[in-house]
Amino acid sequence: MKQLHLFATLAGTRVAIAAEEVEAVVRLIDISPVPGLGGHVAGLSALRSRVLTVIDVAALIYGAPTPADKRGLAIIAAIGGHSYALMVDEVSDICRAPGGALPLRGQLDPVWKPYARALVEHAELPWLLVSPSAFLESGIVGQAA
């Protein structure tokens, strides 16, 4: 497995996302709030003529919304015909992970369990391999419950 991965910090945790699942990384400028939904939906943002649904991943995982002044970068992903922006703290690199996906080790924080699929080694650090669609599925389920 020599595919490209995007390495980012998401809700204070190092994650890796397969590059093919990422369409772009943008800086969110203007987010129109969507009231009446859980805190994990930060709002809507326009990227040219596309409308992105902005997901506050930190709120989804830890239940604490990211303060407005810390909102910045987001990963754009098209899932099920809709465009989403996943808010990330920072993006560090896009490169190949020579080791590929490794099995999970250690006692993972339960809040990460639904999302982490594997480990990826990069820059001599472990990164959690996550998939953007996983955040959305659990987001909807969480809402329905």
Partner 1 sequence: MDELLQEFISETQESLEALAGEVVAWEADPSDRERLDAIFRFFHTVKGSCGFLHLPRFERLSHAAEDVLSDIRSGERCPDAATVNAVLSIMDRIAQLTHAVAVGTPLAQEDDEHLVAALAVQEVECVPLDVPGQPDAPATAHRQRSAQAAPRTIRLPLALIDQLMNGVSDMVLARNELARQLRDRAGDPALEGAFERLSNCVADMRDAISRTRMQRIDRLFAAIPRTVRDLGRELGKQIALTLEGGDVEMDREMVEMAVDPLIHIVRNSIDHGIETPERRRALGKPETGQLRLEARQSGNQIVIEISDDGAGIDTARLVEKAIAAGCLTPQAAARMSEAERIDLIFQPGLSTAHAVTAVSGRGVGMDVVRANIERIGGAIGLDNRPGRGLRITLRLPLTLTIIPGLVLRAGGLHFAIPRAAVVEILHDNNEMFRIGAVGGAKIVTIRNVRHSMIDLEDVLGLDIPAQSGPRTIMVVRSASGLPFALGVSAVENHEELVIRPASPIVTASGIYAGMTLPDNGKPMLLLDAAGLARNASLPEIAENPIEAKAEDKADAKNDVEMIAALRFEELSGERRLLQLSLIERVEELETHLFGQSGDHAFVRLSDRLVPVINGRHGFAREAVSALRLRDGVRDAYYAVAVVLDIVQMPIVPDMITMQGNLSGVSVVDGEHLEVVNPFALFASLPEEPLGHSRPGRCVLADAQDGWAREILAPLLRHAGHDVLIGLPDGEALDPRDIVLCTTSDAMQAADILGCRAVQLRAAQQPSGPQDASIYRYDQPALMAAIAGAG
If one asks whether residue 84 binds partner 1 (CB under 8 A), the answer comes out as yes
- Tell me the CA end-to-end span of the chain in Å, nearest whole number: 37
Q: Quick one: which of 90, 88, 72 has its CA closest to 27?
A: 72
Q: Quick one: which of 134, 121, 126, 129 has its CA closest to 106?
A: 126
Nearer CB in complex with partner 1: 82/96: 82
If one asks whether residue 134 binds partner 1 (CB under 8 A), the answer comes out as no
If one asks whether residue 51 binds partner 1 (CB under 8 A), the answer comes out as yes
For the bound state, the minimum distance from the C-beta of residue 44 to partner 1, rounded and expressed in Å, comes to: 4
If one asks whether residue 139 binds partner 1 (CB under 8 A), the answer comes out as yes
If one asks whether residue 107 binds partner 1 (CB under 8 A), the answer comes out as no
Q: Tokens representing 95?
A: 């490169």
